[in-house]
Amino acid sequence: MPSTDGKVWLQMHDFSQQHGDFACGSLLWVHTIVIGSAKVAEDLLEKRSANYADRPRSVMCGELSGWGKIMLLSNYNDWFRSHRKMIAREIGSYATVAKFHRMIEFETRRTLRCILDDPARLQAHVRKNFTSIILRISHGYVTQEGDDPLVELAHTANAQLSMASAPGLFYVDIVPLLKYMPSWLPGAGFKRKAKEYAAVLDDLVEIPHNYVKSQLAAGTALPSLSSRILGEPGLTDELEDSLKWAAATMYQGGADTANSVAYAFYLAMMLHPRVLKKAQEELDSVIGTNRLPTFADRPSLPYLEALVTELLRWHTPGPITMRRTRVDDEYNGYFIPAGSFIFVNIWAILRDERTYTNPLEFRPERFLGDNPEPRPGNACFGFGRRRCPGKLVDSASTSDSEPFPGYFLGHSALWLICAQALGAFDISKPVENGAEIVPEFNLVGEIIVHQAPFRCSIKPRSLEAEALVRQEFSLSE
């Protein structure tokens, strides 16, 4: 059972340290397996993916709060596959993602200006950047200047999702019969909380969907996943309902994990000024100081690519992934009953000393040279049939159509905001009363985590760099 102070990934790591990479236990009638190595995770979730693609039953989050129709919580079924197909068609190839490059650059430049004007709200600016990008793609919605209601709605919904899906936090997930308790009884506070969560989720799904429908009726809808399918002939109620939840999946997912990593980037640069300086030296030598980097520069910046890859390993927005077995299985002589809960400790896998040298260090060089260490790959973006639907190939091979591994939507947007921030800003520890304030690496949250809020000194590298950030940038070429 998780302790009340959270950080269940640390408790699972301790459990694996005591009992091995494939450690089993049980709670009441639930058989539980904790996986602590990449090899075991890939052997089961990749090579036997059909049996390890379902989610455990989630009474609090999936049933009482209503999140079960989102891909993240849905079982691997026709509903899940139809959503994955819709999303993959929109962002599932290099060619489709490349169509959004100009828009991503526009939103990134807008975010840099906000950071320059109000660096104290860094986390909010970063969050808005990624939410704005995904809302343009999912619903054709353009976020307004300043605080935007749909950005704040996604933030609220994701915080509730993380809490509602936390392993062991709500007893109703262990004893499902508790879901039938009257909400007025002592101890039934979880039902009142679930009702609150469900109302926010309903807004998350319905408000942007109704926005698209109103824009289509007025003839002003921008291209998006929603407008494309809503505009197709023969739309049925069933297809519209499926679309509504697929678009909400994009909106919810794109608004959380990528911004979590991007916010951690500023912490990493404060804690590791050597890395910041080396990346800026590469940028200056390759593109100079007369412009900010663009996607076209990406293949020419190997150190920056390694920096972003190390960032994905060092900061883990989803430290645990959970699965449920469909049928009985056997692994290395151990029997795995159908219905077993599988917990994969992503945090531990990305800090495994058998894979990464000095894994607690932030060292982009580990991914360069003649013998690079393995990239985070599956551990960051999902294993097997539940891999992120926007994730392209992640291997050492490249091709003309997909010139670089990791050129999918979330990774591309993350790369650009890191690249342009390094080109424009000096990022350092704040100074108070003559002393530097050293922030801590501290993950907070449950299933989706963020760095705890920290103070950061962000200043333009030069007057010329400030002018580049403030330069007018149009969506049209």
Residue 397 CB neighbour total at 10 angstroms:
7
Closest CA to 331 of 44, 19, 36: 44
Look up residue 470 and give its two tokens.
């403030």
Instruction: Report residue 39 CA to chain centroid gap.
Output: 23
- Number of neighbouring beta carbons within 10 Å of residue 302: 14
**In whole angstroms, what is the distance from residue 411 CA to residue 376 CA?**
12
Cα–Cα separations (whole angstroms), residue 10 to 6, 17, 69, 178, 239:
9, 10, 29, 29, 42
> Per the annotation, does 388 bind a ligand?
yes
In order, the DSSP letters of 366-424 are: GGSSSSPPPP-THHHH-SGGGS-TT----SS---SSS-STT-SHHHHHHHHHHHHHHHH
Which H or E element spans position 23? strand 22-27
User: Please, is 103 exposed, middle or buried when counting C-beta atoms within 10 Å of its C-beta (0-12, 13-18, 19+)?
Assistant: middle
Nearest one of 7, 66, 60, 72 to 170, comparing CA atoms? 60
Neighbours of 361 (CB within 10 A): 12
Kind and range of the H or E run holding 378: helix 378-381
Q: Are 100 and 133 in contact (CB under 8 A)?
A: yes
Residue 443: which of 176, 170, 225, 257 has the closest Cα?
257
Which is nearest to 91 in space by CA: 275, 198, 224, 263?
224
Q: Are 60 and 173 in contact (CB under 8 A)?
A: yes
Whose structure tokens read 């973006």? 381
Reported as type and span, the H/E element at residue 468 is helix 463-470
Q: For residue 352, what are its two tokens?
A: 């495994």
| Residues contacting residue 124 through CB under 8 Å, at least 6 positions apart | 147
**Cβ proximity of 57 and 176 under 8 Å:** yes
Q: Which parts are annotated binding residues?
A: 388
User: Which residues are annotated binding-site positions for heme?
Assistant: 388
